[in-house]
Amino acid sequence: MLTCKDFLRELNDYLDSTTDVELRKQLEHHVNECPNCWVIFDTSKKTINVYQGMEPKAIPQPVHDRLMAALERRMASKSG
């Protein structure tokens, strides 16, 4: 029996249809029985569908710099 944590760990592969047949059946059973995971699955799938047809846009350099600095601070706080 899959847990919600198991489902979330496999969600990316499930959405990409790269899971094996048996695991896919287990994931489908879980998502059909668990309203919380169904919402996460449905929202993720809809988000992917919205962004699939869009052209990539570059992140402005100041935003990129702030994001990288924030990630570096976060990583430093976790390792120390």
pLDDT tens profile 21-44: 999 999 999 999 999 999 999 999
Q: Are 14 and 27 in contact (CB under 8 A)?
A: yes
Number of domains making up the chain: 1
- Rounded Cα distance between 42 and 29, Å, is 14
- pLDDT above 70 (res 56): yes
The fraction of the chain above a pLDDT of 90, given in percent, is 76
Q: Where on the phi/psi map is residue 58: left (φ > 0), alpha (ψ -120 to 50), or beta?
A: beta
What is the model's pTM? 0.65
The whole-number pLDDT of residue 69 equals 96
The range of the structural domain enclosing residue 34 comes to 4-79
The whole-number pLDDT of residue 80 equals 58
Of 5, 21, 11, the C-alpha closest to 44 is: 11
